[in-house]
Amino acid sequence: MPSYTAPLRDMRFVMFEVLDAERELKAIPRYAEVDRETIDAVMEEGARFASQVAFPLNSVGDIEGCTFHGDGIVTTPTGFKEAYKQFVDAGWPSLSCDPTYGGQGLPVLLNNRLYEMLNSANQAWLMYSGLSHSAYECLMTFGTEQQKNTYLPKLVSGQWSGTMCLTEAQCGTDLGMMKTRAEPIADGAYALTGTKIFISAGEHDVTENILHLVLARLPDAPAGTRGISLFLVPKFLPDQNGEIGERNAIKAGSIEHKMGIHGNATCVINLDGAKGWLIGEAHKGLAAMFVMMNSARLGVGMQSLGLAEVSLQNAVAYARDRIQGRSVKGATQPERAADPIIVHPDVRRMLLTCKAYTEGGRALATYIALLTDREQAHPDPKVRAEADELVAFLTPVVKAFITDNTFETTNLALQVYGGHGYIREWGMEQYVRDARINMIYEGTNGIQALDLLGRKVLHDQGAKLKLFGGLVREFIGAEMSNPAMQEFIVPLAELGEQVAKLSTEIAMKSLADPDEASAAATPYLRVVGHLVYAWLWARMARVALDKLDSGDDFYKAKLATARFYFSKLLPETAFQLQAARAGAKPLMELDAALF
């Protein structure tokens, strides 16, 4: 059986030593009283809940799965409902929500750290509340006062949960082909009819009510994505007191039988004249939904980061204990029949790859959470605007780069175990299966790559890229004269120049052939992802260098991992740069009939 201990030491390192989060938060009035002691106390209690309550149910959920009983009734695995009640009773769902609606008003940064721990412990279980926070953000931005007052207190407390209903059988990413329709009825409500598929936590017994945010078309809707509206469709209609009332005509028709995340009910949802209310303006539902979707994309990055950490921890523990063969330099533990496999260079390669990608992902996820706090609450509008641009630029990187790297991490962690990794009782094969979905939902990673290159770089003539590049150049300028930093600064500077040059090349080529940008998008995202990680790893190395003489071996390990990343993983960019420059012809010249 696997185990899990929250990596609080590394979380604190990133927050306080690299990102100087305590100072950052002091500059935001609503967080001015949030000190390090408060953050530490919340994290320690979150770590306890993750390891003692959520984690023991992870394998239970994988083995049992969810059960569809017919007539829209779905039950969750043993213990899930009870653990969720503990989660609500402890106030965890409300951590970073607005106090106006019962939230605790703590930073997104802190909520981000909690969610990493809970995703390590049990991704499938956390998904029952995961989209609730995204629904909360959508309603906070686009909901009417009546909608906010009716629904937000129940979402914030965790008493009710939320879902996102986009996908239909005939359309996934291409929402312009969506068929679900909404007809106006009395009192400003609408009757929605249609079928949605792949709805995470679409039906369950964990909360008393489920708030479905549903995309649909009004009768006068223009064709394509310009004709999509967003509706709030509760499982149970609230009564006059805002409590559970009449059952709405929205039900699960079945649950999917999936490769992973068995503990979460992925549902087919049927709407048969279900009553709903418009969120935001008619025909502008995608703008409202993108608030929820972008939040969910950041959440998916957190799901993968959690899986990477728990996979890494168990692979390291196994490699230290498992004896197999002798070190080529001679026995390291001659009193035993063989040496532990962690002495072998190739096992070290796998473990360090896992470690570098996991700790790099943690730095990125923590940084974007801090940016979100700036974006939402900083008193300076210029700071808020810049943070908004950076969050937009980095969101596809968080979603795609972290999830791609985590799938490699979980595979390598399984490989460390050898044949035992392929066996269910060790738990590693579940992490591989669970991690695979994160590369697919909330927009496949190919879609994230198109979003990064097309919408976030080419669309604004590289403004967001230049903003981020300015942060990289500022760090390079500050450290270029430091001899100890040359092994990090020189490759970082070279990669920054390569990204700028590549972006210009693709922009020019795509003017003549739009396929050029599409063909380059995925390798382009890998290159940009490495630029982001290289910047963060260089910053972490800088802190570690300063504290090498502290006597704390943590800094030695951090510096060694940074050196591994720069020497063994960053060189991937050479291949990806060449692949991006190869253009569309190698992809498009083969006739489709000849595949």
| CA pair distance 446, 437, nearest whole angstrom | 14
Tell me which DSSP letter residue 426 carries. G
Q: Which CATH number fits domain 161-283: 3.40.50.300, 2.40.110.20, 3.40.630.10, 3.30.465.10?
A: 2.40.110.20
Report pLDDT for 318: 98
| CA pair distance 21, 36, nearest whole angstrom | 9
10 Å Cβ neighbour count for 9?
9
Judged on CB neighbours under 10 Å (0-12, 13-18, 19+), 269 is buried
Strand 250-255 to 229-234 pairing: unpaired
| CA pair distance 351, 416, nearest whole angstrom | 8
CATH architecture of structural domain 8-142: Orthogonal Bundle (1.10)
| Residue 593 vs residues 333, 515, 589, 590: alpha-carbon distances, Å | 60, 19, 12, 8
| CA pair distance 189, 391, nearest whole angstrom | 35
The residues spanned by each domain of the chain are: 8-142, 161-283, 461-588
Contact 246, 235 (CB under 8 A): no
Whether pTM > 0.95 for this model: the answer is yes
Indicate which residues carry an active-site annotation.
Answer: 442
Report pLDDT for 11: 98
Annotate 317-355 with DSSP letters as a single string: HHHHH-B-S--TT--SSTTSSS-BGGGSHHHHHHHHHHH
Q: What does the longest C-alpha to C-alpha distance in the chain come to?
A: 82
Q: Which run of H or of E encompasses 146?
A: helix 145-157
Report pLDDT for 289: 85
Report pLDDT for 307: 98
User: And the tokens for 547?
Assistant: 């504290």
Give pLDDT tens digits along the chain (595 positions): 899 999 999 999 999 999 999 999 999 999 999 999 999 999 999 999 999 999 999 999 999 999 999 999 999 999 999 999 999 999 999 999 999 999 999 999 999 999 999 999 999 999 999 889 999 999 999 999 999 999 999 999 999 999 999 999 999 888 889 999 999 998 899 999 999 999 999 999 999 999 999 999 999 999 998 999 999 999 999 999 999 999 999 999 999 999 999 999 999 999 999 999 999 999 999 888 888 889 999 999 999 999 999 999 999 999 999 999 999 999 999 999 999 999 999 999 999 999 999 999 999 999 999 999 999 999 999 999 999 999 999 999 999 999 999 999 999 999 999 999 999 999 999 999 999 999 999 999 999 999 999 999 999 999 999 999 999 999 999 999 999 999 999 999 999 999 999 999 999 999 999 999 999 999 999 999 999 999 999 999 999 999 999 999 999 999 999 999 999 999 999 999 999 999 999 999 999 999 9
| Residue 284 vs residues 190, 233, 480: alpha-carbon distances, Å | 16, 17, 48
User: And the tokens for 509?
Assistant: 């080529």
Task: Spell out the SS3 assignment of 66-115.
Answer: CEEEECCEEECCCCHHHHHHHHHHCCHHHCCCCHHHCCCCCCHHHHHHHH
Judged on CB neighbours under 10 Å (0-12, 13-18, 19+), 219 is exposed
Contact 457, 329 (CB under 8 A): no
Report pLDDT for 186: 87
Contact 351, 312 (CB under 8 A): yes
10 Å Cβ neighbour count for 492?
25
CB within 8 A of 386, min separation 6: which ones?
Answer: 467
